[in-house]
Amino acid sequence: MAKIKKKKLGWREWIALPQLGIDAIKAKIDTGARTSALHAFDLKVVQQNGQRIARFKVHPFQKDLDKVVECEAPVIDERDVTDSGGHRERRLVIETEVIIGDIQRRIEVTLTDRDNMLFRMLLGRTAIKHDFIVDPGKSFLTKQSDDT
C-alpha cells in the first residue's frame, strides 16, 4: 500500500493561533464542518485605514474563565453559518495563522459565541484537508499536544 503523505490528527488536538496571541487552545477536529470557528466574546469591529478590524476576547482554556486573551484580526467577510443543531447565524470571518503540529497555515475562522459548547475552537475541513487525515478514534497525536 502506498504511503500517505498527509499526517494524522486525532479528533481533538492542541493548536496555536500565534497572530492572536494564543499559544495553546484545544480544538475539535471537525470533518463535519466546512469552516473553522472560534469562541469569542466582547466582540467589537473598528475601522483602521479603511479596513474593518475585529477586536475580541477568548478564554483559551475551557474551564478557566480567569484566563483571557485579547485579540485583533482583520475582518475579511460576513457569512451565514449553519451549526450542527441546524441554526443559522451570521458570523464575522477573520483570517489568521494556525499552527497544527509542524504545519503553519493561514485559515479563515468565523467568530461565534460558543459559551455552551465544550470546545473553544473548531477546525473545519478547509483548514485541515491539505495536510492531514483524521483518526476519529484518537486524540492529541501532534507533538504540540505532547508539549502541552
Q: Give the 3-state secondary structure of 58-110.
A: ECCCCCCCCCCEEEEEEEEEEEEEECCCCCEEEEEEEEEEEEECCEEEEEEEE
Contact 56, 111 (CB under 8 A): yes
The separation between CA 131 and the C-alpha centre of its own chain, rounded to angstroms, equals 16
Q: Residue 87 Cβ, how far from another protein at the closest point, in Å?
A: 6
Write down the residue that cell numbers 485559515 correspond to.
Answer: 107
Residues 79-108 that bind another protein (CB under 8 A): 83-87, 101-102
Binding map of another protein across residues 5-34, x = CB under 8 A, - = no contact = xxxx--x----------------xxxxxx-
State which residue, 48 or 116, has the beta carbon closest to another protein: 116
134 binds another protein (CB under 8 A): yes
Helix (H, G, I), strand (E, B) or coil at 127: helix
- Only one of the segments 38-46, 49-57, 73-81, 115-123 lies at the binding site for another protein (rule: CB under 8 A); that segment is 115-123
The residues binding another protein (CB under 8 A) are: 1, 3-8, 11, 28-33, 83-87, 101-102, 116-117, 122, 125, 128-130, 132-138, 141-143
